[in-house]
Structure 1
Amino acid sequence: MTIRVLHVASELYPLLKTGGLADVTGALPAALVEQGADARLLLPGFGPVVEGLEDLRPVARLERTFGAPDATLELGRLPGGGLPVYLIRADAFYARGGNPYLDAQQVPYGDNAQRFALLGWAAAQLALRIDPDWSPQVVHAHDWHAGLAPAYLRAAARERGLAPGADVARSVFTIHNLAYQGVFPAHQFASLGLPADFFDMSGVEFYGQLSFLKAGLYYADRITTVSPTYAREIQTLAHGGGLEGLLRARAHDLTGILNGVDHAVWNPATDTSIAARYTPTRLTGKLRCKTALQARFQVAQKHDALLFGVVSRLTEQKGLDLLLAVVPEIVSRGGQLVVLGTGDATLEQGFSRVAHAHPESVAIELGFDETLAHAIVAGADVVAVPSRFEPCGLTQLYALAYGALPLVHCVGGLADTVVDASLENLADDLATGFVFERFEPRGMTAAIRRAFALHARHRDWRATQQRAMRSNFGWAASAQQYMALYRELA
């Protein structure tokens, strides 16, 4: 049986990306199609999405607009005859320049609740056959932006007198990062068009406010998150963000499924955006990538210097304050560090000061550039991902594929994907990177020292690089797990 599944999200690579969510929505539906699913996507009609789709045509006028003058549902395709994508054309909501969530002062838009309620409501309308030619059996909502989709489905089922579990379509809600919860003032609930009793502790109410994320967690038929370890962590007080009780209560509905790597985009053997292509058996191209990266960041051209790379939001969640504290360890041992990212002003200034003090060893570029991100992962010897918490992490997966050994904190998906280069793991041919347990300078410094020690043993380093590159974190295995989940529901 072919499963019809609608993915509902706010971003999609390569059209619009602010983080890893876009990489997932850009790769997972295509992987599901290869497994036999009939997958489509629904997105807000942000400018880059409207401009990037082909063959757009109107499907239906949306009767509820949540305050926008008008809203229509359109259907197009990704370029080159790719996946079908529905978009919501509501220019008053979505045709805004810059960041899709924040205004020019980096403040969330005051109507974000209405903008993303429209996304969830439109998903439910598709399940209710607003498009006479196609309707989903499963609505798969991603992160808080789509969190109201399961609530609208539940409300529609109740309106039709259907029992819970007999919804028009079944729903899956995926937590990509529990730290972002879509919390709004309680008075905005009235604008959402949900039944009054949905604003309840057993519903969307969250400490006197309204939470889109909680709506997804409470009303979805099944919940997934993006790694097995993170699925366990979010049921604890330390990582649950105030929702650990609900998550523990729904533990039997919660599954951790690792994200994957889109090898059509991230593959050093075919990547045209890097200085030279290479494979596990022919690694000479990686050294050329390293030389090109040192030139790009204007650090010393030393082929034997251990080069650390960072591609990240510069935030404390990503552990960049810890990395900043241990930069002297890298520099004193003759290593180098290149950083690409933007975020907290104090971290931007901190890395800029270190780069100014050690121009031959440390460099930073503020901002984000997809091509430069590929160049860093291809040219670095080590990619640092020292996150305080990390639901899955994609950077370490890209680093593994490119033979840039990840240096990670042992949390979430980082713990699930990187094996520490301890003596035992090296002896058993298991090591793929460097893992530290305690989030403190001492723990990270010890991992850095292991990296320098392994780098000095050239044969062991090369063997570990090759093992990392042969790690299989493609989307096929993850897509199989999602398909099994959909079949249970549908």
Structure 2
Amino acid sequence: MIPVLFVTSELYPLVKTGGLADVSSSLPEALCGLGYDVQVLLPGYPDALAAARKAGSRRKAQFRIGQYEVSLWQTRVPGTAFTLWLVDCPLLFDRPGNPYQNEEGQDWWDNAHRFELFGRVGAMMAMGEAGLSWTPDLVHCNDWQTGLIPVFMAPVSRRPGIIFTIHNLAYHGVFPHQTFQDLGLPESLWRWDQLEFHGQLSFIKGGLVFSDRITTVSPGYAREIQTPEFGHGLDGLLRSRQEALTGILNGIDVRVWNPQEDPELTFHYRRNHLKNKARCKVSLQQELCLDVSDGPLLSFIGRLVEQKGVDWLISVMPELLERHCQFVLLGSGEARYEAPLKQLAQQWPGQMSLTLGYDEGLAHRITAGSDIFLMPSRFEPCGLNQMYSLRYGTVPVVHAVGGLSDTVHDPQDADTSVANGFRFSEANEQSLLAAINRALESYSNRQSWRRLQDNGMAADYSWQQRAQSYDDLYQAILKEREQHQLD
């Protein structure tokens, strides 16, 4: 078995702010199924440590890094095949709530120090310097929080292979030059082609510059981030490394997201028997105090931020509510979006439900009970919610970007045998409204709507298929490292 260290700042169900947590759970599990010995490294957040102790964790190492006392705890998340390691450093990670922000929604002042230490521990494990008997042949890093691991490993020629996955390039992990100096990083790294980014320190550049391979979470996003529009200032660097860059579409955990067995649903259904989907809709309407109606129920689950196109959605909702559409929204974010949504919910109590925050069970029930799922994101590296909705027979309407474009196929552009939803290309509310109108027209035609649902539910969104692509990439890296060491 080939040992792989998978390093992440989130892991479902222990800590989750977005899709990274889902991927960090599902991909290692699928890779274990292919014969890899995957071991996941995660910061020791309070909830994660509590769950680990309940599952019977064991402290395997204890050491000091600078002023910080660090322990490594080994455990296993129940029902998974991979080993989990937790970096226990109370001064940096023993904090309530969000792993990156305080209760006021502000970034922790010492995030750079927190994830620099996390990166040092990851590099120590990778290089066999943490006092453990296990060492990896490959290190798989994820997003800016792990960006310094390849930097710390770079000086060593006989190191493991490194793969770095970009889940969202909008988040660089950017800090002032003073932070670079406070961390004690070598001055030789303060160059435009290494860690310096317009006079600041960029963690993510460490992963992009020093890894053997870079992946993104969809083929479409891999192309987009090489352009100024989506590259967030790093498009030139990514174009220079395009031979090392690959887009691999995320999968979903089909055990967790399965309308036939989902424990969060009162009624279950499958592709060829959708009668209970209608009952899920009624149940959702009753749960959220909406009028029980056969009219179209549209939903949105996600962060209420500009990236998600929430402003476009707010612009088109009044007209659609006037036309007797219902809306269910679940999420939280910026006050400038929460306020008008609250107002709409007050104005249309029987037709609109707004739940601020996040509730995993409710997310499942919304996905099952909705007719149309909306994802008008300005950009979307992959997106998982559209795949959840497709699997549940809920037809998506999406902006044709990134992974949304890779997974949703519009009847205007695709054969009827694969069409499964509706897309819009222009980045504005008028284009969104036009796509929703086409969806509503199809909804009124039972036969065409049923075909879209059937196509969506028939596709394979599992990690088994996606993991094979990572397997191919891993093997290529190992061969290159072997050849490099021979040379």
Please tell me the TM-score bracket, short chain as reference.
Answer: over 0.9
Counterpart Cα distance in 2 of 1:191 and 1:170: 29
Shift of 1:334: 2.1
One-letter amino acid of the structure 1 residue matched with residue 56 of structure 2: D
Correspondence for 1:320: 310
Question: Please, which moves more after superposition, 372-381 or 105-114?
Answer: 105-114
3-state SS, counterpart of residue 238 of structure 1: helix
8 A contact 1:389–1:411 mirrored in 2: yes
Correspondence for 1:140: 140
One-letter amino acid of the structure 1 residue matched with residue 27 of structure 2: L
Shift of 1:63: 3.5
Correspondence for 1:339: 329
One-letter amino acid of the structure 2 residue matched with residue 154 of structure 1: A
Correspondence for 1:227: 218
3-state SS, counterpart of residue 191 of structure 2: coil
One-letter amino acid of the structure 2 residue matched with residue 454 of structure 1: S
8 A contact 2:61–2:132 mirrored in 1: no
Correspondence for 1:489: 477
How much identity, in percent, do the aligned residues show?
44
One-letter amino acid of the structure 1 residue matched with residue 430 of structure 2: R
8 A contact 1:3–1:487 mirrored in 2: no
Q: Equivalences for 1:271-282 in 2 at 5 Å?
A: 271-282=262-273
Correspondence for 1:7: 6
Task: Write the deviation string for residues 117-174 of structure 1: whole angstroms up to 9, x where unpaired.
Answer: 111111111111124421111111111111111111113x1xxxx3xxxx41111111
Counterpart Cα distance in 1 of 2:184 and 2:476: 30
Counterpart Cα distance in 2 of 1:282 and 1:104: 45
Shift of 1:56: 1.6
1:449 aligns with 2:449: no
Counterpart Cα distance in 2 of 1:360 and 1:300: 5
**Of residues 180, 188, 192 in structure 1, which corresponds to 2:179?**
188
Correspondence for 1:92: 91
Note closer, same or farther for the CA distance 1:398–1:380 as it changes in structure 2 (3 Å cut). same
3-state SS, counterpart of residue 299 of structure 2: strand
Counterpart Cα distance in 1 of 2:468 and 2:106: 39
8 A contact 1:60–1:131 mirrored in 2: yes
**Of residues 440, 443, 464 in structure 2, which corresponds to 1:476?**
464
Query: What is the count of residue pairs matched by the alignment?
Result: 475
Task: Write the deviation string for residues 312-335 of structure 1: whole angstroms up to 9, x where unpaired.
Answer: 100110001101111123223321
Counterpart Cα distance in 2 of 1:184 and 1:292: 48
1:37 aligns with 2:36: yes
Counterpart Cα distance in 2 of 1:328 and 1:399: 24
3-state SS, counterpart of residue 5 of structure 1: strand
Correspondence for 1:236: 227
Task: Write the deviation string for residues 190-245 of structure 1: whole angstroms up to 9, x where unpaired.
Answer: 34343320121121111111011111111111100000010010011111101011
One-letter amino acid of the structure 1 residue matched with residue 14 of structure 2: L
3-state SS, counterpart of residue 120 of structure 2: helix
Shift of 1:440: 1.3
**Of residues 378, 385, 394 in structure 1, which corresponds to 2:375?**
385
Task: Write the deviation string for residues 394-429 of structure 1: whole angstroms up to 9, x where unpaired.
Answer: 01010001011111000000000000133x64x632
Question: Please, which moves more after superposition, 96-105 or 388-397?
Answer: 96-105
3-state SS, counterpart of residue 50 of structure 1: helix
**Of residues 251, 261, 265 in structure 1, which corresponds to 2:256?**
265
Note closer, same or farther for the CA distance 1:357–1:244 as it changes in structure 2 (3 Å cut). same
Counterpart Cα distance in 2 of 1:475 and 1:104: 34
3-state SS, counterpart of residue 215 of structure 1: helix
Question: Please, which moves more after superposition, 396-405 or 459-468?
Answer: 459-468
3-state SS, counterpart of residue 317 of structure 1: helix
One-letter amino acid of the structure 1 residue matched with residue 450 of structure 2: R
Correspondence for 1:60: 61
Task: State the superposition RMSD in angstroms.
Answer: 1.3
8 A contact 1:234–1:244 mirrored in 2: yes
Shift of 1:80: 4.4
8 A contact 2:164–2:208 mirrored in 1: yes
8 A contact 2:32–2:81 mirrored in 1: no
8 A contact 1:152–1:194 mirrored in 2: no
Q: Equivalences for 1:55-454 in 2 at 5 Å?
A: 55-65=56-66, 67-68=67-68, 70-80=69-79, 82-129=81-128, 130-155=130-155, 157=156, 162=157, 167-302=158-293, 304-422=294-412, 425=414, 428-454=416-442
Task: Write the deviation string for residues 72-130 of structure 1: whole angstroms up to 9, x where unpaired.
Answer: 22211112464211111101111111111112322111111111011111111111112
Shift of 1:430: 1.9
3-state SS, counterpart of residue 307 of structure 2: coil
3-state SS, counterpart of residue 100 of structure 2: coil
Counterpart Cα distance in 2 of 1:411 and 1:432: 16
Unaligned runs of 5+ in 1: none
One-letter amino acid of the structure 2 residue matched with residue 489 of structure 1: I
Shift of 1:9: 0.7
Counterpart Cα distance in 1 of 2:303 and 2:342: 15
3-state SS, counterpart of residue 340 of structure 1: strand
Correspondence for 2:482: none
3-state SS, counterpart of residue 104 of structure 1: coil
Deviating above 4 A after TM superposition, structure 1's stretches of 4 or more consecutive aligned residues are none
Unaligned runs of 5+ in 2: 479-487
One-letter amino acid of the structure 1 residue matched with residue 216 of structure 2: T
| TM-score, scaled to structure 1 | 0.95
Counterpart Cα distance in 1 of 2:443 and 2:80: 45
8 A contact 1:329–1:445 mirrored in 2: no
8 A contact 2:144–2:171 mirrored in 1: yes
Note closer, same or farther for the CA distance 1:196–1:61 as it changes in structure 2 (3 Å cut). farther
